[in-house]
Amino acid sequence: MPELTKRERMKMDRTAMPMRHASERATDFDEVNSGYTMEMAMTEASRCLECKRPVCVDGCPVGIRIKDFIELVAVGDTSGAASVILEDNALPAVCGRVCPQESQCEEACVLGKKGRPIAIGHLERFVADEERRRGLRHAAAVAPSSGKSVAVIGSGPAGLACAGDLIQMGHKVTVFEALHELGGVLAYGIPEFRLPKEIVRSEISGLADQGVVFETDVLIGSGTTLANLMEEDGFDAVFVGTGAGLPRFPGIEGEDLIGVLSANEFLTRVNLMSANLSDSQTPVYDVAGRPVVVIGGGNTAVDAARVALRLGAQPVSMLYRRSEEEMPARNEEIEHAREEGVQIRLLVAPVTFNGDDGWLSSVTIQEMELGEPDDQGRARPVPIEGAFATIPTDVAIVAIGNAPNPVLIRSTPDLATTPWGTVETDPETGATSLEGVFAGGDIATGGATVILALAAGRTAAAAIDQWLR
Amino acid sequence: MTPRFTIHETIEVGPDIARLVVDAPRVARHARAGQFVIVRPSGDSERIPLTICDSNPDSGTITLVVQAIGGTTTQINAMQAGDALSDVLGPLGLPTEIERFGTCVVVAGGVGAAIVLPVAKALAEAGNRVIGIIGARDADHLILVDEMDEVCDEVFLTTEDGSAGVQGFVTDALASVVDSHDVDRVLTAGPIPMMRAVADVTRAYELPTIASLNPIMVDGTGMCGGCRVTVGGETLFACIDGPEFDAHIVDFVSLQKRNEAYHTFEACRLRDTREELDA
């Protein structure tokens, strides 16, 4: 490709991500986006202005050298690009798919001012997919053995990122996972059509190849305690990345009816236990041809709505108590959900779940209006007096967030926590109130994103390395 | 990966009821009375909760008592010594509160005996006088009687058909024990209607009563909320807040109903599993 002038680059359109048509994809669990071809990736990469001071990097929580990897993609060197990315991110195929790029790197991109930022996420995904497709593995260099060992509790994004960095630093790392499958929210939470499990497994096996030991079926804090890990099992340091796995319920009448369930439960049954398959041994409510209501406006709510749609539910409505502007879900997911037929009802909140002999039959909702901003600056929803409506439905999926999982905290009395039940940490290092114990991800911040958890895992890994030496 | 959860021994202790001794060193090292494990017999199985009936830290084994009432339990009971379970996660749940209460009565129906046995043992070790009441539909379904005899000061048996012990229900035996003894605490495990009836008996005496609940569970770690139960008007998770709760304020009607959520699916799975095993 001939060298393009800056003006030519600025004129080019952003290369669209090829995706399957909504009517086709809404009936199966295969991936929505099919990914760039090499030609598309090179074209998209060639739009990069190669800024002297690449502000996109500031927008990336883990500081990937974005400009450098994009330059390599522009000349077709995906292996070189993969090596650059892996220095800072052990899970590029995952992050390329699930990061909210529009509020991070791509928001910072200079071309974004014209509404056409470089598709950094799509390129990151392309690089990782291309290398995997070609069977190539890029293990970053491993430092000489330190003789120290670290226990990582939880195999979600925070734990994996922490483990990936620690192993490169020359420490022995064992990751403990409570479930039978590795990946935490990547395994039980994010559905196949957005993040194929094969990709999660492949990125995790990359870590195993580098020497990270994984142990499933171990819930630290119930039985084996954090103290046991340090005192009996001889770990020199511990990273706590147990996530925000305790679903909240609205606390309204009728939430014990059959048909009311958390998005975690619904998604776990389908994603982790394959309840969507006809020969699955784990059941899920039969929603084919029946209405489903999802309560919430985050990525989990959108995921649950789209899974319900794929199980044949009709219609699927999301109920969100604020306006679209406040919806925490990624823009792309909201768009995809709408294209597939998910109805989004804004400014409504459930008031009661109504039942018939123990089974859910309808949800009564109340209309809301936006009031004063809350302490996070988001407009507070205020109920409109007397404005009620009833929606007939057999299934209501609750996706209003998660509280920190209390199992480890309860069994570690000396570990200081915040009034919100999260583990108290130094944000600069992830250090907790206990010597040698670090924490990061949703257990420290409350429910956030995959990439922020990765960043916290990396921060803690650096601090653990320092502390061990 | 080498299977970690090998079955050492499996013995039929009643009709469709097996007692298994399973390798699970991490569980065995830390298990306490009242706790349970989540088990998957094979790589494509659902996750089901089973009470830890006994544990031996020295041999690294735990004992499970399984009644084949569904597809997965039928599959487990068809397994032989030398086979391995795919996953055993635990110990889960809060252990039973064990103190020197004085005189305690443990009341079990059917395989509930496997749940109250370790509790009776722990209560006895803590210096309590322990009275056991075990009921079942007939003599064949009365399990762990010798083991209960060993740890309890007295054991009363009831059967619905009178084929063993006294004909009648555990609540009849409980009422007479409460009338004739100075009872300080009751713990019950078994079918939901039975636990509810036990709670009704002791409520009149204002006798502290604990029920070990058995709701549908998926992960067992607090993550899904499928096992939520209503206790004193509050929504609690049996996996991490229980499985034992104050029986006088448990909403047993809701619990019973919620356990019916997947009845149709479960009936099909049981039929399919039986057909597969017969083939």
Average per-residue pLDDT in chain B?
94
Read off the pTM: 0.93
Q: Which residues of chain A have pLDDT under 70?
A: 1-2, 138-140
- For chain A, give me the number of helices (H) and strands (E)? 19, 15
Helix axes A157-168, A197-209, angle to 10 degrees: 30
CA A21, A27, A33, A34 torsion: positive or negative?
A: negative
Nearest CA in chain B to A280: B44
Is A224 within 8 Å of B86 when comparing Cβ atoms?
Answer: no
pLDDT at residue number A138? 64
For residue B183, give the 3-state DSSP assignment: coil
Cα distance between residue A405 and residue A242, in whole Å: 7
Q: How far is CA A205 from CA A91, A199, A343, in A?
A: 11, 10, 38
| Shared fold status for B5-92 and B96-212 | no
- Containing H/E element for A386? strand A379-392
Give B1's pLDDT tier (boundaries 50, 70, 90). Answer: very low
- Identify whether the C-beta of residue B12 lies closer than 8 Å to the C-beta of residue B76: no
Cis check for the bond before A315: say yes or no (omega within 30 of 0): yes
- Identify whether the C-beta of residue A146 lies closer than 8 Å to the C-beta of residue A76: no
Q: Where in chain A is the domain with CATH 3.50.50.60?
A: 149-245+404-468, 247-401
> What residue segments make up the domains of chain B, in order of their start?
5-92, 96-212
Is B222 within 8 Å of A405 when comparing Cβ atoms?
Answer: yes
Is B257 within 8 Å of A224 when comparing Cβ atoms?
Answer: no
Nearest to A194 by CA among A88, A313, A340: A340
Q: Is the pLDDT score of B2 beyond 50?
A: no
- Identify whether the C-beta of residue B106 lies closer than 8 Å to the C-beta of residue B147: no
Return the CATH superfamily for domain B5-92.
Translation factors (2.40.30.10)
Cα distance between residue B63 and residue B85, in whole Å: 13
CB-based contact (8 Å) between B226 and chain A? yes
B109-157 residue pLDDT tens? 999 999 999 999 999 999 999 999 999 999 999 999 999 999 999 999 9
Nearest to A167 by CA among A227, A91, A90: A90
Is A247 within 8 Å of B88 when comparing Cβ atoms?
Answer: no
Please work out, in degrees rounded to the nearest 5, the angle formed at the alpha carbon of residue B63 by the alpha carbons of B58 and B65. 175
Region for A154 from its dihedrals, namely left if φ exceeds 0, alpha if ψ lies in -120 to 50, beta otherwise: left
pLDDT at residue number A245? 83
Cα distance between residue B124 and residue B120, in whole Å: 6
Topology classification of domain A6-133: Fumarate Reductase Iron-sulfur Protein; Chain B, domain 2 (1.10.1060)
Minimum distance, in Å, between the CA of residue A232 and any CA atom of chain B: 12
Is A247 within 8 Å of B224 when comparing Cβ atoms?
Answer: yes
Chain B residue numbers touching A269 (CB-CB < 8 A): 218
Chain A residue numbers touching B40 (CB-CB < 8 A): 180
Q: Where in chain A is the domain with CATH 1.10.1060.10?
A: 6-133
Side chain identity at B50, as an amino acid letter?
Answer: L
Region for A115 from its dihedrals, namely left if φ exceeds 0, alpha if ψ lies in -120 to 50, beta otherwise: left
Best A153, A155, A174, A180 member to test B by mutation, with max B CBs in 10 Å, is A180
Nearest to B225 among A178, A179, A262 (CB): A262
What average pLDDT score do residues B43-69 get?
Answer: 95
Q: Specify the length of chain B in residues.
A: 279
Q: How far is CA A165 from CA A172, A201, A311, A423, A429, in A?
A: 11, 18, 39, 22, 14
- In B4-75, where do the E strands start and end? 5-14, 17-23, 36-40, 48-56, 61-67
Topology classification of domain A149-245+404-468: FAD/NAD(P)-binding domain (3.50.50)
Cα distance between residue A423 and residue A406, in whole Å: 10
Cα distance between residue B276 and residue A379, in whole Å: 57
- Identify whether the C-beta of residue B218 lies closer than 8 Å to the C-beta of residue A180: no
For residue A331, give the 3-state DSSP assignment: helix
Is B240 within 8 Å of A218 when comparing Cβ atoms?
Answer: no
Topology classification of domain A247-401: FAD/NAD(P)-binding domain (3.50.50)
pLDDT at residue number A151? 97
Side chain identity at A225, as an amino acid letter?
Answer: T
A68-95 residue pLDDT tens? 999 999 999 999 999 999 888 888 999 9
Is B46 within 8 Å of A273 when comparing Cβ atoms?
Answer: yes
How many CB pairs below 8 Å do chains A and B form together? 115
- Identify whether the C-beta of residue A186 lies closer than 8 Å to the C-beta of residue A157: yes
Minimum distance, in Å, between the CA of residue B253 and any CA atom of chain A: 9
Q: How far is CA A9 from CA A49, A70, A72, B206, in A?
A: 7, 14, 17, 81
pLDDT at residue number B3? 52
Give the residues across from A246 on adjacent strands: A403
Minimum distance, in Å, between the CA of residue A268 and any CA atom of chain B: 8
Interface of B with A in 147-206 (CB under 8 A): none
In this prediction the ipTM stands at: 0.94
pLDDT at residue number A378? 83
| Count of beta carbons in the 10 Å neighbourhood of residue A2 | 6
- The position carrying tokens 């910072």 is A108
Is B258 within 8 Å of A358 when comparing Cβ atoms?
Answer: yes
- Identify whether the C-beta of residue A207 lies closer than 8 Å to the C-beta of residue A163: yes
In CATH, the architecture of B96-212 is 3-Layer(aba) Sandwich (3.40)
Q: Retrieve residue A140's tokens.
A: 């970053």
CB-based contact (8 Å) between A153 and chain B? no
For residue A452, give the 3-state DSSP assignment: helix
Interface of A with B in 263-322 (CB under 8 A): 264-265, 268-269, 273-274, 280-283, 285
Interface of B with A in 4-43 (CB under 8 A): 4, 26-27, 29-31, 40
